[in-house]
Amino acid sequence: MTIEPSQPAFVTRAQCPLCHKEIIINWQRDEIPFFGDIMYITACCECSFRFADTIILAQKEPVRYELLIEEPEDLYAKVVRSTSGTIKVPELGIVVEPGSISESYITNIEGVLDRIRGVLMSATRWVADDPEKYQRGLELQKMIQEAVDGKRKLTIIVEDPLGNSAIVSEKAVSCKLTPQEARMLKTGMIVFDTETSEIEIDSCDEHMIGN
């Protein structure tokens, strides 16, 4: 089944940040439940560079959302993570920061935990020769599974200096970030200069920090 976009798309042109050839950026405006007007932005180059993002047009202030996972129903809360969104799980000491290769996604809390667990599984295999780090990796994976099974409480925090990320739940607590707090966050965004058609990229690659 093909879903027709609710509004027409348009394109712009810019320079690929990797090979410097011209690339086409596709902009598709749409309206989806919970978020209202949004803009899908995609670009790809034959050199393998690609970019995708979802921007919530109605929200522009730097924002912070926090949700305490206490019961199974909380796992179904919708999460919009833009390329400028940072995800934190304080109880696990985990911070997922954006970078130049970040991609946006719409999922739920369980989906976020599955993504984090996938990265942890890979990282745990990489440190198999370090007993302490290996054991810590297994412990974090177990804690995530306990949260999914309803046996452990975890807090999911989403922060976005560009205001394009959100947690959709009546239980989620949101607030505006101060300018100082917003400046502390990485954006991972590609910035299109409309006057020069050049592209500036945050130098940080997406990565997960764990204690």
- Tens-digit pLDDT profile for residues 39-91: 888 899 999 888 887 776 765 689 999 999 999 999 999 998 887 889 999 99
What's the pLDDT score for residue 199?
Answer: 32
The pLDDT, as a whole number, for residue 201 is: 36
pLDDT for the residue numbered 126:
92
Position 8 confidence tier, pLDDT thresholds 50, 70, 90: low
Arithmetic mean of pLDDT, 139-164: 93
CA distance 90 to 92: 5
Q: What are the extents of the domains in the chain?
A: 9-210
Quick one: tokens of 150?
């309803």
Residues 62, 108: Cα–Cα separation, whole Å: 21
The pair of structure tokens assigned to 89 is: 């799980």
pLDDT tens, position by position, 155-187: 999 999 888 889 999 999 999 999 999 888 877
Q: What's 9-210's CATH class?
A: mainly beta
- Give, for 166, the enclosing helix (H) or strand (E): strand 166-168
pLDDT of residue 109: 96
* DSSP per-residue string spanning 56-101: ETT--S-EEEEEEE-SGGGGG-EEEE-TT-EEEEGGGTEEEE--TT
Write down the pLDDT at residue 33: 61
Instruction: Output the CA–CA distances (angstroms, integers) from residue 159 to 89, 128, 163, 176, in the order listed.
Output: 12, 32, 8, 10
Instruction: Please report where in the chains the tokens 């667990």 appear, as a residue.
Output: 117
Distance CA 166, CA 172 (A): 9
